[in-house]
Amino acid sequence: MLLEIRDLVKEYTHSARPIRAVDHLSFSLTEGEITGVCGESGSGKSTLIRLICQFTPADSGQILFAGKDITHLSQSERRELYRHIQLVFQNPFRSFHPRFTLEHSVRAGLYNYHLEVPEEQFQSLIREVQLTPETLRRYPHQVSGGECQRAAILRALCLQPQLLLCDEATSALDVSTRLEIVRLLRETCRRHHITCLFITHDLRLAQILCDRIVILHQGRLVEEGPATDIFQHPQEAYTKELLDSLL
């Protein structure tokens, strides 16, 4: 197992009514697999990502990465962790500095970790994400959402992460671009043996992309299993409801 979530709990207490966004959640990610975490708005998907990345502290439970407890890390340990766990966000434009070219930002990811990718390999990765050196020399406002998201995938890829976390990484794109990015993610993860956690409310995309599916509802795990089982033989009423809403 590359990532294990064990009995994880996160409650937001500063609102009038405390909200348990993640409620005794347990599941794990097998190395090299793409797991889709699916649920409606408010089911706790983004909170889960924030907990894994340590953007917010867990109340209880454990997160293990490659067997190591990463639930509560120091700042320097967190920095080291981010080399191995890369994130692709929903809005590609917000994940790049507007005053730097895409290439500058992609290479900065490497400088930050004192890493070097031989130029030939860098050019090959650019081709792999179906960008051109010319597009990379542009600023974020000079490229399309799809191109910007490809650059975000390239930036992650350059660091050779073990785990890629995608938080609604295709939601801000139009339908055909969404499919292209999903295919790119699938091919890239397979080729580089990257484990992927793909957070989405879009079950159709999860069906195309994912090996395994975890269904969340109000912070709880409703059902999990191989994607084919979940889509062809859902066991839980809530999963059936979600699938019926696709028809």
Ligand X SMILES: Nc1ncnc2c1ncn2[C@@H]1O[C@H](COP(=O)(O)OP(=O)(O)OP(=O)(O)O)[C@@H](O)[C@H]1O
Residue 98 tokens, joined: 């507007």
- Nearer to ligand X by C-beta: 41 or 74? 41
114: Cβ contacts below 8 Å, ≥ 6 apart: none
- Nearer to ligand X by C-beta: 14 or 141? 14
- In the complex, minimum distance from the CB of residue 47 to ligand X, in angstroms, rounded to a whole number: 3
Q: Please say whether the beta carbons of 159 and 110 come within 8 A.
A: yes
Pairing outcome for strands 3-12 and 60-65: antiparallel
d(CA 141, CA 136): 12
- Nearer to ligand X by C-beta: 42 or 225? 42
- In the complex, minimum distance from the CB of residue 157 to ligand X, in angstroms, rounded to a whole number: 25
d(CA 126, CA 227): 30
**Helices and strands (DSSP H and E) totals, the chain:** 10, 10
- In the complex, minimum distance from the CB of residue 218 to ligand X, in angstroms, rounded to a whole number: 8
- Nearer to ligand X by C-beta: 46 or 160? 46
Nearest to 36 by CA among 182, 247, 227: 227
- Nearer to ligand X by C-beta: 23 or 147? 23
- In the complex, minimum distance from the CB of residue 201 to ligand X, in angstroms, rounded to a whole number: 5
- Nearer to ligand X by C-beta: 46 or 130? 46
- In the complex, minimum distance from the CB of residue 72 to ligand X, in angstroms, rounded to a whole number: 19
Q: Please say whether the beta carbons of 31 and 196 come within 8 A.
A: no
Pairing outcome for strands 34-38 and 3-12: unpaired
Looking at the DSSP bridge assignments, the partners of residue 12 are 19
- In the complex, minimum distance from the CB of residue 8 to ligand X, in angstroms, rounded to a whole number: 12
Binding site for ligand X (CB under 6 A): 12, 15, 19, 21, 39, 41-47, 201
